[in-house]
């Protein structure tokens, strides 16, 4: 495990990924209670099948387990052939749930705490991931240029995204009230930033108060940001840049949930009844 830790650090994996891979590799090695060098491809497949059939894990967990085990044999044990034929789960093609403009307004109106409101407004207005908003520092907000500097985001990439005038007004009230020093949104301990779990609880509470029954998470605000931009006529390339997507194919999913073009299509049922009327 020490070799795994060392290799993950040397290859620049994020702390979140390192933690996940270590968990998966520990679980794999404990399952067989044998030296991984003595295991072959069939052992690995049996273990993955155990996760699918017995543990009923999700596709994403299955894929993460396969990635971690592949890393172990590829990068640490130098036994690439052992995992060359390891199959991966097919990606699910689920469409994101999106809030309407009215729903977003109701979410914000249901939040009284100015810190909580500032967090949710920044996520929606700039298309931030929850892991990005909690790691923002006071100096990352460029009020003059109306930009937010997102550092070390997914894939260890930096980017700039837009800073809304409305969000800035709320943020100014928050800054004057809380006077944060380092982290824009500090946790209970001022030396640490707010946790992603805390932000999810803030969002869940706001959604409940707003009376919204859709199956949503705080990440839905990011999906809604992208979809609403697309519906307002913003080019997909700019949305890709604001979201920090590596591939345009990732951003294209929002074309399937946008009502910009679908809203122009009239159902034949409506046409039938219009004629009869």
Give the CATH number of the domain where residue 15 resides.
1.10.150.130
275 noted as active-site residue: no
Q: Which residue in the list 117, 129, 135, 223 is annotated as catalytic?
A: 129
Q: Residue 73: what pLDDT? A: 95
**pLDDT per residue as tens digits for the range 108-122:** 999 999 999 999 999
Q: Are residues 48 and 107 in the same domain?
A: no
* Residue 191 placed within a domain: yes
Smallest CA-to-CA distance from 251 within 262, 237, 267, 265 is with: 237
Q: Is 228 one of the annotated active-site residues of the chain?
A: no
Options 115, 117, 135, 245, the catalytic residue: 245
Best CA proximity match to 4, nearest among 75, 99, 107: 75
Q: Which of 43, 137, 219, 260 is catalytic?
A: 219
Is 219 a catalytic site residue?
yes
Instruction: Determine how β-strand 157-162 pairs with β-strand 141-142.
Output: unpaired
Question: Would you say residue 267 has pLDDT above 90?
Answer: no
For the question of residue 70 being annotated catalytic, the response is: no
- For the chain, the average pLDDT equals 92
Residue pLDDT, tens place only, 126-183: 999 999 999 999 999 999 999 999 998 777 789 999 999 999 999 999 999 999 999 9
Q: Are residue 142 and residue 210 in the same domain, yes or no? A: yes
Is 129 an annotated catalytic residue? yes
Active-site pick, 115, 222, 223, 228: 222
Active site residue 101: no
Give the predicted TM-score (pTM) of the model.
0.77
Which domain range does residue 141 map to?
Answer: 101-262
Number of domains in the chain: 2
| Sheet with 147-153, side-by-side order of all strands | 141-142, 147-153, 157-162
């Amino acid at each position: 495990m020490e070799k795994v830790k060392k290799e993950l650090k040397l290859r620049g994996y994020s702390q979140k990924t390192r933690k996940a891979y270590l968990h998966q590799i520990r679980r794999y090695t404990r399952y067989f209670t044998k030296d991984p060098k003595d295991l072959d491809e069939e052992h690995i497949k049996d273990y993955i099948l155990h996760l699918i059939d017995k543990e009923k894990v999700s596709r994403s967990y299955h894929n993460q387990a396969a990635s971690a085990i592949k890393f172990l044999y590829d990068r640490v044990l130098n036994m690439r052939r052992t995992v060359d034929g390891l199959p991966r789960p097919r990606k699910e093609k689920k469409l994101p749930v999106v809030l309407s403009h009215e729903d977003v307004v109701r979410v914000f109106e249901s939040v009284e705490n100015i810190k909580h409101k500032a967090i949710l407004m920044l996520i929606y207005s700039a298309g931030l991931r929850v892991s990005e908003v909690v790691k923002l520092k006071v100096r990352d907000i460029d009020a003059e240029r109306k930009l937010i500097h997102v550092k070390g985001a997914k894939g260890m990439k930096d980017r700039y995204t837009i800073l809304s005038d409305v969000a800035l007004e709320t943020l100014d009230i928050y800054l004057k009230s809380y006077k944060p020093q380092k982290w824009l949104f500090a946790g209970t301990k001022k030396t640490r930033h707010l946790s992603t779990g805390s932000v999810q609880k803030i969002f869940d509470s706001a959604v409940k108060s707003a009376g919204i029954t859709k199956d949503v998470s705080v990440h839905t605000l990011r999906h809604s940001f992208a979809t609403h931009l697309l519906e307002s006529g913003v080019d997909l390339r700019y949305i890709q840049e604001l979201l920090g997507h590596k591939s345009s194919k990732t951003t294209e999913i929002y074309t399937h949930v946008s009502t910009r073009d679908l809203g122009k299509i009239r159902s034949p049922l409506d046409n039938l009844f219009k004629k009869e009327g």
